[in-house]
Amino acid sequence: MIGWLPTLLRLVVIGIVLYQVVSVVRALAHARRVRRALIRGDRVTAVRLSRQAVHVKLGRLPPGFPFLLLSLGRILVACDRVGEGIAWLRLADESTGADHRAKPAILIDLGLSLASAGRYEEAESVLARASELYVESAHPDFHGGAIQRWYMRTPKYKRRTANARGYVAMRSERFEDARTWYEAVRAMPGTPRRNDRLANLNNLAAASVQLGDLNGAERYVDEVHELAGENSWSGQDYFLGTRGDLRLAQGRLKEARADLTKVLTLRGPDPRTLLCLAEAAYKEGSSEDAIGYLNRIKTPPAEPEWRRRLADTLESLAELDESAGHAEAAQKRRAEANTLRAEVPHPHEASDDPLLASVRSALAGRRFRGLSTPRSVALGLYLLACLSLGILILGGFDVPPPAVLAEAALLVLLCAASLPLLRWLLGPEAVRANEQLQT
């Protein structure tokens, strides 16, 4: 009478497996659409897709929800909506414990974003927390899994945090500190990838140029040439900009303009590159070329150092205008220079975003945590039971009718328990009293 039941059970198990596969494929396809939108410059679509992903999951708050917040924050920062990106990254930070597997990436991205907004003290504070995670991971209350504990003790993670702190030091014009951090990255054990080694050498060269150590910068540039050879590499446009800045400081103006022109070809009309080209042209005596480069700068650079350099160049051109009898043009350039020297306003975090408010309300008083040992054991036993039952059902074993009924009952039980069990194991927990003042 139940001869049809084994076939039905197999179809149900196959349907469950296909549903999981389709869910993974849809997530990968969504991430790919976001990346493609960014690549083609369609920022509106990239942000819209990322916000949709958060909105769709808001009602259930699945285990991967912090990663959606992290992704949306990254996309907003990549689209030059830094203030909004910081707000989402802050929320991701507030809604995850130190032992959550997304915490390292959240802290590093938040620190870098704060630095790009000129909020250097906050950035340093956040990155100091990222550096301390590997210490916290040894604490008994740290519930992160063994893989996360291992990762936060690897040279790779320490290199990421040190590079981030070097970046903050460069942005805040603490060039000696920046070079110290980049030298620490170079001295760390392990074998970083070729592109990572090249990026580190470029960072060391850039810091050395800013410190006026042109011989040291030249040594690092030579090491890049030796390691890279004639092959292109990711980040080569940044290296060409660094080498162009070095050649400019050395007075090798023709070589500087050649490198910086290549950067324009690779990256487009970058304000800092156009400024360096204007400086090189001015030093060569070609004020018309210098003015042409400056006119192509649509948005002034945000960094104080580069704004000062642009202001100085405008002052120099104003002096030429005055000597040529163009008083009105000189006055206009000086006004632009004074504006650039004024303090750069920092982007404000988005506070009137209805989706941000909804997510903050849904997560109020709750936080995603890492898996404690008992919960890891419970999750492992549940997955083992699912796997074993799936093998029994799909294996086509000749079992008596009572065993088939038992398989059906167990399948119903496992399916019914999946959502509440996973919500208990991986969902957000109420924030404990001793965590209220953290983050």
The structural domains of the chain, ordered by start, are 1-153+354-439 (1.25.40.10)
**Phi, psi for residue 367 in degrees, rounded to 5:** -155, 135
Enter the pTM of the model.
0.82
d(CA 345, CA 359): 28
Give bridge partners of residue 367 from the DSSP assignment.
429
Give bridge partners of residue 430 from the DSSP assignment.
366
d(CA 86, CA 88): 5
- The pLDDT value recorded for residue 231 is 82
Closest listed residue to residue 34, CA positions, set 21, 26, 45, 24: 45
d(CA 126, CA 92): 13
- The pLDDT value recorded for residue 156 is 84
Whole-Å CA distances, 69 to 42, 47, 90, 132, 350: 20, 12, 9, 23, 14
8 Å CB contact between 370 and 145: yes
Task: State the burial class of residue 37 (Cβ atoms within 10 Å of its Cβ: 0-12, 13-18, 19+).
Answer: buried
8 Å CB contact between 325 and 97: no
Give 177-229 as a DSSP string: HHHHHHHHHHHSSS---HHHHHHHHHHHHHHHHHHT-HHHHHHHHHHHHHHHT
- The pLDDT value recorded for residue 437 is 44
d(CA 116, CA 132): 22
- The pLDDT value recorded for residue 307 is 87
Distance of CA 104 to the CA centre of its chain: 11
Predicted confidence pLDDT, tens digits, the chain (439 residues): 567 788 888 899 999 999 999 999 999 999 999 999 998 989 999 999 999 999 999 988 988 899 999 999 999 999 989 999 999 999 999 999 888 888 999 999 999 999 988 899 999 999 999 888 766 555 555 555 555 666 677 788 889 999 999 999 999 999 999 999 999 999 998 888 999 999 999 999 999 999 999 999 999 999 999 999 888 888 899 999 999 999 999 999 999 999 999 999 888 888 889 999 999 998 888 888 999 999 898 888 877 888 888 999 999 999 888 888 888 888 998 998 998 888 766 666 666 789 999 999 999 989 898 777 777 788 889 999 999 999 988 887 777 878 888 989 999 999 999 888 888 888 888 876 555 544 4
The sign one gets for the Cα dihedral 183, 189, 192, 194 is positive
Q: Are strands 366-367 and 429-430 parallel, antiparallel or unpaired?
A: antiparallel
Q: Locate tokens 């507030």: which residue?
A: 94
d(CA 78, CA 72): 10
Give bridge partners of residue 96 from the DSSP assignment.
368
Distance of CA 180 to the CA centre of its chain: 23
Q: Locate tokens 């002052």: which residue?
A: 315
